[in-house]
Structure formats: C-alpha cells, structure tokens
Structure 1
Amino acid sequence: MHDFFLDNADATDALGARLAHALPPRVVAYLHGDLGAGKSTLARALLRALGVTGTIRSPTYTLVEQYPLPAGGMALHLDLYRIGDPGELEFLGLDPAETRLWLVEWPERGQGGLPTADLDVELAVEGAGRRCVLHARTAAGHDWLEALGPA
C-alpha cells in the first residue's frame, strides 16, 4: 500500500507522472472516490505523462475514451457512473488484446464485465487537497508499486 497527500494540482500531476514512469506492460487500475475526488484529474495526468497529446476528455458522457500510446498499445479511460447494468459494457467495443492500460472510474458498476484490477486507487477530498491510497491486488499491481518507489 502507498499513501499520498496531494495538496494541489502539481502534486496530482507528479503522482500521475510517477505512475506512468513505473507502468508495467499491461495493467488495470480501478479509480474509486466520490464525485470531485480527483479520479479524472489523476487519470489525465497519467495519460499526459505517457505521452498522450491533444485533448484528454473525461469519459463522463461517452463512457469510454481510447488513447493510442506512443510506446505502443492503447489506454482506455472508462467512467461507468452512468451505466445501469454491467452487460452494457459489451456494447462499448473494448479490445482487451490491444489495451495496455485500463483506467476505470466507478468500477463497481461494471462488476463482472471488467478485467480484474491490478491496482485499486482510492481518492478522497481531505482539507484543501486529496488523499490517494494505492492498493496492489495482483502480482502486476505489486510490481507497479515496487517500481513506483516509496510513497
């Protein structure tokens, strides 16, 4: 487990860059937290640090945004807040074989239709900043946290 206090946007960007730098070959990260906790902000920082250029949209209304990664493969950013049933995921046309990184907001709404999380990212508002706790769930998640270094 790694525990971070993100006191401003620069701290969130820095954590996103650290996560990008330590990224294993293929991973799934579930992003947990209330509305406004910073899930999309952290996802955007991570994608930007992976070299995604141009607009990085929040998938709030589209449910999924796909980004080709300069190093190869795809990153998927999903926001499942608006789905009513995990069965709806099959209509999104997701291709797990091409996907190097899954960033899934509101994963509990897609339960049973998503790949297993390698890393759970818990975000919460704390004072003027955010608390971010990372929990590894698989060997790939442990490798990611180990490569990330100390909190």
Structure 2
Amino acid sequence: MTQFVTLLEDEAATVALGKQMAGAMTPPLTVYLNGDLGAGKTTFSRGVIQHLGHQGAVKSPTYALVESYEIKGIDVFHFDLYRVADPEELEFMGIRDYFTPNSICLVEWPENGCGLIAEADLQIYISYKGEQRQISIEATTELGQKLVSKLK
C-alpha cells in the first residue's frame, strides 16, 4: 500500500495540499475523507475543487448531503454524510448515480454510506496534532497509487 504522511501547519497548508492533489486527479476517482469534526476535511476539499477550476465559494454539504460542480467537463461531487443515520437514506437520493466514469467524488464521513458508495481510490485521514493537523493519504487502487506517488 502506498502512503503519504505529513503535518499541515494551518488552513492554508491544508488548502495547498488539496490543490496539489487536484493537479493529478482525473475521473473516475473516489476519495474518502476521514477525521473528527473540524479536522479539515472540507478545507482540503475546497483546495481540490478550487484548483480544478471552481471560482465560487466551496461550502460544506452537511445539510444538502452533496454539492455538485461541473468543472471543465468533469462532474465533481462533494458529499458530507455526517447527518446520515441510515445508509438507506442514500438509496432514496440515488447516490449510486453520482459515481460515474466522469466523476470525482470527495466523501466526508464515508462510514455512514457503508455498502452504498463506490470503494475509495484514496483514503485520507486527518487528525489533530496540537495546533497542527496530520494528514495520512493511503492509496487503495492503482489510480490512487499514481496520485500518492506524485506527492513523494
């Protein structure tokens, strides 16, 4: 398994790493974002989505469950499954339809979508280390390995 681990000084460093990763992302790609509340999952996603070309604000999809962006012919979906109590809720919204050959899916709280969302190409874990954040990026597919290798 290919893995990359680093410390992030602040919010700007988290956004910058998201932008760096986005430079190598191509669909289809599924990224799981794991970490406590406030750890930086949405901040990392903002870096990815802005680097891909979105000009506006990137907000947390906590209440909407998903924010959709069409960027340069690519469908980018940012999910926040924190409020999902039962994975069946996702079945009603047609969640499987978002994971297409033309999509990049960023999924916060993926454990709440157990069995209904595509397997991850990348597993990202963000944790508190004092005032900093530690980020661990693990590749779980060949595509994920290519992305992680560009970070080393």
> Could you say whether these structures have the same fold, taking a TM-score greater than 0.5 normalized by the shorter chain as the test?
yes
Offset at residue 92 of structure 1 (A): 2.3
Question: What's the secondary structure of 1:75's corresponding residue?
Answer: strand
Alignment correspondent of 1:20: 22
For residues 99 and 132 of structure 1, what CA distance do their matches in structure 2 show? 27
8 Å CA contact retained: 1:76, 1:99: no
For the pair 1:134 / 2:137, whether they are aligned, the reply is yes
**Cα distance per residue 1:98-117 (max 9 Å; x no partner):** 64211001100100000000
Displacement after TM superposition at 1:31 (Å): 0.3
Q: Secondary structure at the match of 2:123?
A: strand
Pick the aligned partner of 2:66 from 64, 69, 73: 64
Summarize deviations over 1:18-45 as a string: whole Å, max 9, x none.
1011113311000000111110110111
Number of residues of Structure 1 aligned to a counterpart in Structure 2: 148
1:34 matched to 2:36? The reply is yes
Pair 1:143 & 2:146 matched: yes
2:39 partner letter: A
Match of 2:108 in 1: 105
In the aligned structure 1, how far is the partner of 2:151 from the partner of 2:117? 28
- Is the partner of 1:65 in helix, strand or coil? strand
| Runs of at least 4 residues off by over 4 Å | none
**What does residue 3 of structure 1 align with?**
5
Supply the distance in 2 between the matched residues of 1:3 and 1:47 (Cα, whole angstroms).
21
**Residues 64 and 92, structure 1, Cα contact 8 Å, conserved in 2:** no
d(CA) in 2 for partners of 1:27 and 1:89? 19
Q: Which amino acid aligns with 1:21?
A: G
Distance 2:11 2:25 in 1: 21
Which whole-Å CA distance do the structure 2 matches of 1:91 and 1:125 have between them?
A: 35
Contact 2:27 2:101 in 1 (8 A): no
TM-score normalised over the length of structure 1: 0.92
Q: State the identity %.
A: 41
Unaligned runs of at least 5 residues, structure 2: none
Give the secondary structure class of the aligned counterpart of 1:3: strand
Secondary structure of 2:25 counterpart: coil
Letter in 2 for 1:114: I
Q: Specify the SS of the correspondent of 1:130.
A: strand
Q: Mind listing any 5+ residue stretches in structure 1 that lack a counterpart? A: none
Q: Secondary structure at the match of 2:18?
A: helix
